[in-house]
């Protein structure tokens, strides 16, 4: 593969995508890249990055919103060091808090910045280029909102929150190719559909308002399952569409003013069922810590994944879904205690 000037590698969720849009918008002649393994259609997994870097040659690479692989940090870190020494300059920008020693990266000359929030992560490249215009600000806010960044609570009203939850994130997850077609483009296999969409957004300078209008045409608002309330907890025993459990929990909290939502889920990639317990993103950290404590205590022998205050717990069998009302009752009592 011929050497290119600047490569941008970013996550493929809505936050990673918007951070990639901003970086590509600012760096002239850059190439966005976000997806290369069909078996991982939703995310560029941290564990795949070392293999990815073996396939590229560039004067510099920006790696944005991809956390250090906690399962094999040494391989991940060594891949960055090797690229930085032998191929091109590495700029590593992330916001995930991981308990991994990053001194080897610093000592080997890698330009690394771990920001305090998703919003700051999106804006980091803009700060380096000393350019923050309305295009950058709007895309950064949307991405940070999709990542439940509480630092932007005062900048986001509930109308915009519902639009992102209901329409934008939904369409981005399920209608990427259709969005590209509406923009008059097509998927380039070199970049994947997210990288291709990134290029189109920048080339046509598509504003957030225009993007929202396009996504409105492609999806209906996120449908809510039948739900019940127990105090500060809202729950459902009906499974939402694949990949939308956390967003369903978000909307349930949004429309019911509940602190926490409980939603059953299924991950087809892993062939696993789970129960999602998700704190409403606007709730303060003390509430999220309380929910975390409940989850870790009640499900201490289970596989638990997710973010602070929002977790998916593996279930033993589908009969366990029948226990969701009881779990909701116990959680509500725990929150009041």
pLDDT band at 317 (very low <50, low <70, confident <90, very high): confident
Residue 108 lies in a domain: yes
Other beta carbons within 10 angstroms of residue 115's beta carbon come to 17
9 & 33 share domain? yes
Among 194, 218, 242, the domain boundary falls at 218
In the block, tokens 């459902």 appear at 236
Identify the pLDDT of residue 159: 92
β-pairing verdict for 310-314 and 272-279: antiparallel
Residue 120 within any structural domain of the chain: yes
Residue 163 counted as domain residue: yes
Reported as a pLDDT band with limits 50, 70 and 90, residue 41 is very low
Domain identity same for 125 and 261: no
Q: Which domain holds residue 327?
A: 228-336
In a domain, 179, yes or no: yes
Do 138 and 259 fall within a single domain? no
Q: Would 20 be classed as within a structural domain?
A: yes
Separation between Cα atoms, residue 86 and residue 161, nearest integer Å: 44
pLDDT digits (tens, 9 = 90+) for 43-81: 456 778 888 888 888 899 999 999 898 888 999 999 999
Q: How many folded domains does the chain comprise?
A: 2
Q: Does residue 28 lie within any of the structural domains?
A: yes
Among 155, 187, 218, give the residue marking a domain's end.
Answer: 218
- Tell me the pLDDT band of 291, cut-offs 50, 70 and 90: very high
pLDDT band at 2; cut points 50, 70, 90: low
Q: What is the pLDDT of residue 241?
A: 84
Q: How would residue 39 be classed by pLDDT, with cut points 50, 70 and 90?
A: very low
For residue 239, the domain's CATH number is 3.10.310.40
Which residue, 218, 245, 265, sits at the end of a domain? 218
Residue 223 lies in a domain: no
Local confidence band at 36 (pLDDT 50, 70, 90 cut-offs): very low
CATH number, residue 25: 3.90.1640
CB-side neighbour CA atoms (13 Å) of 163: 17
Residue 55 CA: distances (Å) to CA of 47, 195, 298, 326: 15, 16, 44, 50
* Burial class of residue 92, CB neighbours in 10 A (0-12, 13-18, 19+): buried
């Amino acid at each position: 593969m011929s050497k290119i000037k600047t490569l941008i590698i970013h996550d493929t969720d809505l936050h990673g995508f918007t951070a990639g849009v901003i970086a590509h918008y600012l760096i002239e002649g850059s190439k966005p890249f976000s997806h290369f393994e069909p078996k991982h259609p939703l995310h560029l997994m941290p564990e795949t990055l070392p293999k990815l870097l073996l396939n590229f040659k560039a004067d510099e690479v920006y790696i944005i919103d991809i956390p250090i692989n906690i399962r094999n940090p040494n391989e991940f870190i060594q891949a960055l060091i090797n690229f930085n020494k032998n191929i091109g300059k590495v700029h590593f920008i992330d916001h995930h808090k991981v308990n991994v020693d990053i001194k080897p990266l610093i000592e080997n000359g890698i330009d690394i910045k771990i920001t305090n929030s998703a919003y700051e992560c999106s804006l980091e490249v803009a700060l380096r280029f000393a350019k923050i215009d309305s295009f950058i600000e709007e895309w950064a806010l949307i991405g940070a909102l999709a990542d439940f960044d509480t630092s932007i609570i005062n900048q986001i009203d509930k109308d915009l929150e519902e639009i992102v939850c209901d329409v934008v994130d939904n369409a981005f997850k399920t209608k990427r190719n259709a969005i590209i077609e509406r923009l008059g483009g097509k998927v380039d296999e070199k970049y994947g559909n997210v990288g291709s969409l990134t290029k189109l957004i920048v080339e046509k300078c598509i504003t957030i308002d225009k993007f929202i209008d396009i996504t409105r045409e492609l999806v209906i608002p996120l449908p809510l399952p039948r739900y019940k309330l127990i105090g500060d907890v809202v729950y459902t025993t009906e499974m939402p569409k694949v990949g939308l459990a956390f967003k369903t929990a978000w909307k349930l909290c949004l429309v019911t003013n509940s602190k926490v939502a409980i939603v059953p889920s299924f991950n087809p990639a892993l062939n696993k069922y789970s129960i999602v317990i998700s704190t409403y993103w606007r709730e303060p950290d003390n509430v999220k810590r309380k929910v975390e404590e409940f989850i870790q205590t009640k499900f201490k022998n289970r596989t638990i994944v997710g973010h602070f205050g929002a977790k998916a717990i593996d279930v033993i069998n589908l009969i366990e879904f029948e226990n969701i009302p009881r779990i909701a009752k116990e959680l509500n009592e725990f929150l009041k205690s």
